[in-house]
A and B are shown apart, each in its own frame.
Chain A
Amino acid sequence: MVTLADYKGKVKPDWCPGCGNFAQLSAIGGALTELGIEPKDSVVVSGIGCSSNMPEFINMYGFHGLHGRLLPVAEAIKWANDKLTVIGYGGDGDGFFEGTQHFYHTSKRNVDITYIVSDNQIFGLTTGQASPTTSMGMVTKTTPNGNIEKPLNPLDFALTAGATFVARAFSGDAKHLKDVIKAGIQHRGFSFIDVLSPCVTYNKLNTYDFFRKRVYHIEGNDRKDLMQAYRIAQEWGDRIPIGILYENTDKTYEDYDPILSKGPLINNPVHKLVEDDLEEFV
């Protein structure tokens, strides 16, 4: 029996007190526990940033890679061994700036991994610069006169790119967060979860209070209806939707590929070259 304690890491998180990442750390461990997935069979891959330090704080296989580059690593781990539960975990600066290209293409490929973005709408680890999701007008170290760039809409982006599971959660709503992550892990295909996660140190605008006043649970939506999902994704302001916007059961990249569909690459026997393999060169 897997218990939550099994996922407890040896290293104590060094996030700021009150950081939204704590709730996500618990939620990921909780979701994996409830699904009965053993720590040895799960991998978390991260990029660079406060949130990306996660692999050290949780007891599972962890790979803390490069800024914006977690998705290619995560995809390949899944291709190598599809028995593993692979979770990509990063931040908005990491995933939506340098990682945008990979975000788009992994969504389009529909690789069976779960991608969770701790979206605090700011660069935290590098001390508070504007990120791709920073609100317009917000004053940061790099936008002293207020941000003049329209924020990227991660949900809309994921839907357009072809992600087959698109959801949003909030670090201040722990149970819902865990349930959404659980559904994302259970979904076969690329699952994208944008987590509204306040940065208590550098983002004084998008606080817990800010979100508590605005978030509401999406209810009764037809998750297969892409157009409806697009409409929900556009909502931002007085009411901010959280929950699962979209889910479909398309075949995954691994289903389509003639080699991967036969099973994990790690089990493929090594081809022993024989003279016949060289006949084409005669």
Chain B
Amino acid sequence: MKDTEVVVRVAGAAGDGVQSAGLIIAKAFSRSGLYVNTYNYYQSLIRGGQSWYQIRAAHEKVRSQGDGLDVLIALNKDGLTRHTNPMINEGGASPLEGVAIFDKEITGYEKGKATYCEMPLGEIAAKYGKNALMKNTVAIGAMAAAVGLDFSILSGVIADQFGKKGDVADQNVKAAKEGYDYYSSNFKKLGKKIQYGKTKRYLMAGGEAVGLGAVSGGLKMYVGYPMTPASSVMHYLASHTEQFGLFVKVSEDEISAINMAIGANYAGVRAMTGSSGGGFALMTEALGMSGMVEVPLVVYEAQRSGPSTGLPTKTEQGDLMQVIGASQGDYPKVVFAPRNVEEAFYMTREALNLAEKLQMPVIVMSDLYLAEHYESVENLDLNFKIDRGNFAKDNQPDFKRYQYTDSGVSSRALPGQAGLMHNEDSDEHNEYGAVVSDAETDPTLRRLSMEKRMKKINIYLKEMPPTDTYRYSDAEYAIVQWGSTQGVVEEAVDMLREKGIKAGAVEINRVYPLNPDMGKLFSGKKKIIVVENNYSGQINRFLRSEFLVKTELITKYDGESFYPGALAEELEAVIRRN
């Protein structure tokens, strides 16, 4: 681990305040001018179990949660043992070799290589308030001292966090200060070369970025049904309805949610829905309807580990086949998979424009890792031109809602417009929207209608930007990734390069349809290695069939994200294998 970065982990049981402590630390680093990247390990529990929250910070862009660990705040004995014991390697995280901060009441633990900083966390907390959780604040103060963080910045974050609770903010700041002082006078600072600064950046999670991107893209209605990890978008939007003039609705089920989103879009209001895999499965029939009736629709799909209820609080990229294959029959759709938090913002609003322009469903795929971890985001471009697509003029004579045009796109009419009354039908229909499915099935019309819808995708293909690559110009080995694994794959590529292995990454954020030009990126490479956070290699099969390339596959399906060091080792093994 680099000297210029710091990794802090807060560990404890659910209900111990692990996440809120982690967020305060992340914000304090961010306000100290550092880039931040967090990792959240938790269970589907309200109390108990074991969870941890990790913050990695540096003055250079931080692309993943990293491998090492410098400071541990252990809120219980299990947390202390787990993260300092070399025998336990959870999801690839390395055991602590830095300082462990914990309450002196925790005793009888088995010692590892860490420096154990036993502190009177509970005693100090008790001086300032009755809330047991305040010992977290004391520990955060101690952590700040350990890494040389400016206390005034930390106290600012704490004050903001508890701002609405009056005296509580003041008590917490005092408790943190005493933790800070206690650590300073009893223990040594960590030997790190952190360059703190003043650059202002935003710290946000993927779910928030999707919500913000949707607002930037002109969203007026979001309807969903709670399901981790898709809910964070709904939570963000629901808490900002007045600010953004947004209508947010929790409906009776996902089927209702998507039908509502379609109804609103049909009536001319930009609306979106979202869920995770199980809920998305329920939505699929209506997804195809949006393709058939050519009503624009954006669906946010946040993957978690499956199948079935799976691991509700764990990450995976296992829904690609489901999303690409969603709904019966052939119909056009576009699937995005943003690679990082910033891109989640930009791609969501692009999806809203594209859906209206092409009058078809666009799905934005995310996963628990992308949706819930925080990243530093800078310079978000808030300017955006909303493109509502084609609308017919009132009283247009002989209006054909589904007119066969060269592009396949025809003009829409909104209910309320004069002289454009027509029927939008989930049955196969002719240019007017009249049904050709039952008694008067017409093979010619069926063929023309199908072609009209399907050729709309060509507009997207024509405007599609080239696939991004990383350190690729002289690469001998192509490492292919899609979606949220970007940061970790880039770091692994860097590690391979340090060893003299010429690796480079192909980064796919437009997963369906794939960019037809991507095939060129694979020619002449010694090996093409696909990295996926799933069991069967879903994009791997798709790449093989689309581009007829021979690939090797590295997968991870334990519910955790990849770790750069472990991934680099696996990649090296594949590269060296004959």
- Which A residues fall within an 8 A CB radius of B? 10-11, 14, 39-43, 45, 48, 53, 55-56, 59-66, 69, 71-77, 79-81, 83-84, 101-102, 104-105, 257-260, 265-266, 268-275, 277-278, 281-282
Contacts and interface: CB of A to CB of B under 8 A. Distances in A.
B256 A105 contact: yes
Contacts of B420: 40
Interface in B212-266: 212, 215-216, 218, 220-221, 223, 241-247, 251-253, 255-257, 259-264, 266
A80 B221 CA distance: 9
22 contacts: A10-B432, A14-B438, A14-B439, A40-B415, A43-B267, A56-B423, A56-B425, A61-B413, A65-B289, A72-B251, A72-B255, A76-B259, A76-B262, A76-B263, A77-B415, A81-B269, A102-B256, A268-B220, A273-B215, A273-B382, A278-B380, A281-B204
Given A63-B263, A76-B263, 15 more contacts: A62-B433, A63-B266, A63-B424, A64-B435, A65-B293, A73-B262, A76-B259, A77-B267, A81-B416, A104-B252, A259-B247, A265-B221, A270-B386, A271-B246, A281-B202
Contacts of A60: 421
Interface of B: 30-31, 200-204, 208, 212, 215-216, 218, 220-221, 223, 241-247, 251-253, 255-257, 259-264, 266-269, 271, 285-286, 289, 293, 377, 380, 382, 386, 413-427, 432-435, 438-439
Contacts of A77: 263-264, 266-267, 415
Contacts of B263: 45, 63, 72-77, 80
B259 A40 contact: no
A69 to B, nearest CB: 5
B260 A76 contact: yes
B426 A64 contact: yes
Nearest to B208: A281
A273 B213 CA distance: 9
A260 B260 CA distance: 15
Contacts of A40: 415-421
Contacts of A48: 426
B416 A257 contact: no
A62 B252 CA distance: 24
Contacts of B261: 76
B325 to A, nearest CB: 19
A66 B289 contact: yes
B203 A281 contact: yes
B421 A259 contact: no
Contacts of B245: 259, 268-269, 271
A76 B424 contact: no
A142 to B, nearest CB: 22
Contact of B260 (A43, A55, A72): A72
B11 to A, nearest CB: 25
A179 B65 CA distance: 67
A260 to B, nearest CB: 6
Contacts of A59: 421
A69 B258 CA distance: 10
The 8 A-B residue pairs whose C-beta atoms are closest, nearest first, are A76-B263, A80-B267, A72-B259, A73-B263, A61-B415, A62-B423, A281-B202, A80-B269
Contact of A282 (B31, B247, B262): B31
Given A56-B423, A62-B423, A281-B208, A76 B268 contact: no
Contact of B424 (A62, A105, A268): A62
